[in-house]
A = this chain, B = another copy of it.
């Protein structure tokens, strides 16, 4: 597990991603990477940081999430039309999506085995395989 707890870890992580360790990037990185694995939307992260008492603009949250994603620190996740989640767990794994509550949960990559794949066209490379197990939680959230 790649988990950064100390301030130095965080600074290192951001710098290694080729990004200047600015106040806002560090604060966001701390929120993202110093707990367990998380699935967050931009809005969530934004209000979370406001709640913690440091203000970032929403635009910066979006910028940072994308920068972290292209740097390989995050993985973008498309489960719901019109809402992007970002996953701090970048190891091979899949997802359980509770449609009613909107909650996402990781499924260990080796819990799901993929058999033979179709032949790909010339020159194409698989960039990722997403498996989403959509679940209806029948029990009402009482």
Contacts and interface: CB of A to CB of B under 8 A. Distances in A.
Given A99-B127, A134-B129, A139 B122 contact: yes
Q: How many copies does the complex hold?
A: 2
A114 B113 contact: yes
A108 interface: yes
Contacts of A107: 117-118
Given A83-B81, A130-B131, A111 B118 contact: yes
A123 interface: yes
B111 A112 contact: no
A58 interface: no
A29 B81 CA distance: 23
A113 B113 contact: yes
